[in-house]
Each structure stands twice: as structure tokens, then as C-alpha cells.
């Protein structure tokens, strides 16, 4: 956790946000990264996502079972989803989402939007061409050599 906190502090010196994350496997740090949203002009470049990307490249797998993630702050919805998708075993964090909200990093609007039916969200959202799109899902469902994830 100290390494994640250290990354969150040092990252501000290079123009990034105050967030750091470290992924550990078998007691060894495999990946350590900070938030690079403003540095990379990438809204998905949160510390946790960056660390997951680094770890999967190093280990050569998308399945991070057996790993733990230490984040300087409670992960946002996107990062929490990525942590679940990566199958990381444990999550530890320092600052809370309330602490982040108090300094201007609020995710509340996303929590509120997710609870709405998509027809009532602020982001114009509608389904289209489902009859054509479902073909890919039907092929996947019957594919015998697929890699499950």
C-alpha cells in the first residue's frame, strides 16, 4: 500500500492525478502504475487499469487469479469492473470515494446514471439492429474452440 500511496504523490509532479495502484502476486510486486489520464489524454488510464494492463502483459494472461491489488483510493466503477474482470482475488485501498469526492473527483453521477433505465439516462442511449447484432452472439454460443473469460 505504501508503494501505491508513493506513486499517487509522485504522479502529481509529472502532471497526473493523485492515484496509484500496485498488483502483487505471491508477495512480489509485479505491476505498479499511476493515473495517466491527463498525461496520455486517455480517460480510461486510471491507476488500476494501467496496473492491470501492465500485469497482464508481464504474465501473458488476462486472468489475474492469485493476485492482490493495492490502490491509493477506492476504485471507481470502471476500475472496480476491470478488477472483477481480471479475476483479482483481493482489493485493498487507502482513500475512500468520499475522500475523492471531497477534492473534486466525484463518481456519484455515474452511480445515479447506472441505476436508471437506459431510456432515462443523460447519455442518449438506444438499442438498434439487434436482429443483426445477435448473430455474433449465436456464433459464440455454438463455438467449440472459444476461450472462456
Q: Which residues are catalytic?
A: 48
Query: What is the DSSP-derived secondary structure letter of residue 112?
Result: H
Distance of CA 128 to the CA centre of its chain: 28
Q: What are phi and psi of 138, to 5 degrees?
A: -65, -40
- Alpha carbons 48 and 37: distance in angstroms, whole number: 12
- Say if CB 92 and CB 71 are below 8 A apart: yes
The secondary element (H helix, E strand) that includes residue 57 is helix 47-59
Amino acid at each position: 500500500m505504501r508503494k501505491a500511496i508513493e506513486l499517487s504523490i509522485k504522479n502529481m509532479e509529472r502532471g497526473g492525478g493523485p492515484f496509484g495502484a500496485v498488483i502483487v502476486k505471491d508477495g512480489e510486486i509485479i505491476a505498479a502504475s499511476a493515473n495517466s489520464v491527463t498525461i496520455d489524454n486517455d480517460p480510461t488510464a486510471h491507476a488500476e487499469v494501467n496496473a492491470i494492463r501492465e500485469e497482464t502483459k508481464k504474465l501473458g494472461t488476462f486472468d489475474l487469479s492469485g493476485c492482490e491489488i493495492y490502490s491509493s483510493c477506492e476504485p471507481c466503477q470502471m476500475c472496480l469492473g476491470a478488477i472483477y474482470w481480471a479475476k483479482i482475488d483481493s482489493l485493498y485501498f487507502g482513500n475512500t470515494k468520499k475522500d475523492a469526492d471531497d477534492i473534486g473527483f466525484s463518481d456519484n453521477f455515474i452511480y445515479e446514471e447506472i441505476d436508471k433505465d437506459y431510456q432515462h439516462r443523460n447519455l442518449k442511449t438506444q438499442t438498434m439492429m439487434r436482429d443483426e447484432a445477435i448473430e455474433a452472439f449465436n456464433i459464440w454460443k455454438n463455438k467449440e474452440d472459444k476461450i472462456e473469460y
